[in-house]
Amino acid sequence: MDKILKFKIWGDYAHFKKYYTTTSPLTFEIPPPPTIIGMISAIIGLEKNVYLSYFQKPEDYKIAISILNPIQKVRWSQNLIDTKHSFWNIKNRTQIRIEFLKNPAYSIFFYHKDKDIYQTLKQNLSNHKSCYSLSLGLSELLADFKFQEEVLINNVKAIDWINLNTVLPVSKIFGNESVDFGISKEIFKVNYPIFMQPDRIVKKREDLLFERNGKNIRCKLEDYWQTESGENIVFF
């Protein structure tokens, strides 16, 4: 891996449902890796029932994400209607409060060993073309995207303090007291689904650290990647 693609996705609102919420759905702050894979598959045209099969070997692909806009959450009530018996004669309604992200924007770093997937994504991003509608978690929450660059990347193996530009998986941290939580930072830790099988069963979850306002995280790592433009990134 010597080059990766970098592109931006954004929208007015997003909802990435947390798996442990039901009647009052809460949202993750960033799209989980399986959701990002779904977005990429929508852009390049992989079918819904098969796209996960192209992302079953962690050594075949890499994904990282950085937060561009501060994380803002809003909640409003929605009426859910019962259409089981009739779509036109609605009798039952259920009102619930749903949490949404407002003005979300992210940069995605992506690589895939399959050259067809990589080149198709590069071409479609460059032409601002998507085979399927791109959304941020729910079909009603349409997203836009923009190709940023194809960038050279270098693996760095050195135990040192760096300013990380992406979300940080806790497993990548080197030892204790290796994250600077400085008073000017708002760093959160949330458990995310990382790897999903084609049958939609999540096989791996992990705690991720992120700075709510999109600031970098000062941390000590022994293995990370650096782009030619000087960004330090860590893949999921």
Domains of the chain by start residue, with CATH: 3-233 (3.30.70.2660)
Neighbours of 186 (CB within 10 A): 12
Which of residues 67 and 182 earns the better pLDDT score?
A: 67
Identify the pLDDT of residue 93: 75
**pLDDT over 70 for what percent of the chain?**
97
pLDDT band at 235 (very low <50, low <70, confident <90, very high): very high
What is the separation of C-alpha 41 from the centre of its chain, rounded to a whole number of angstroms? 13
Q: Determine which helix (DSSP H) or strand (DSSP E) holds 95, and give its type and residue range.
A: strand 93-102
Q: Determine which helix (DSSP H) or strand (DSSP E) holds 130, and give its type and residue range.
A: none
User: Biggest alpha carbon distance in the chain?
Assistant: 65
The Cβ-side half-sphere exposure at 34, using a 13 Å CA radius, reads 24
pLDDT at 86 over 70: no
Among the residue ranges 18-22, 125-129, 171-175, the one predicted with the least confidence is 18-22
Residues 221 and 173: beta-carbon distance below 8 Å? yes
What is the separation of C-alpha 5 from the centre of its chain, rounded to a whole number of angstroms? 15
The pair of three-digit structure tokens given for residue 50, joined into one six-digit string: 């098969």
Q: Which of 150, 160, 166 is nearest to 36 (CA)?
A: 166
pLDDT at 222 over 90: no
Mean pLDDT of 117-133: 97
15 CB contacts (<8 Å, ≥6 apart)? Answer: 25, 27, 98, 99, 100, 101, 136, 137, 138, 141
pLDDT band at 115 (very low <50, low <70, confident <90, very high): very high
Q: Determine which helix (DSSP H) or strand (DSSP E) holds 39, and give its type and residue range.
A: helix 33-44
176 CB contacts (<8 Å, ≥6 apart)? Answer: none
pTM listed for this prediction: 0.92
Identify the pLDDT of residue 40: 97
Identify the pLDDT of residue 92: 76
How far CA 115 is from CA of 39, 94, 120, 124, 235, in Å, comes to: 18, 47, 8, 14, 19
Q: Determine which helix (DSSP H) or strand (DSSP E) holds 123, and give its type and residue range.
A: helix 115-126
pLDDT band at 138 (very low <50, low <70, confident <90, very high): very high
Helix (H, G, I), strand (E, B) or coil at 5: strand
Identify the pLDDT of residue 96: 86
| Cα Rg of the chain (Å, integer) | 19
Q: Which of 6, 219, 193, 222 is nearest to 107 (CA)?
A: 6
- What's the chain's average pLDDT? 92
Among the residue ranges 16-25, 58-67, 115-124, 136-145, the one predicted with the least confidence is 16-25
pLDDT band at 87 (very low <50, low <70, confident <90, very high): low
The pair of three-digit structure tokens given for residue 60, joined into one six-digit string: 């075949």
Identify the pLDDT of residue 91: 73
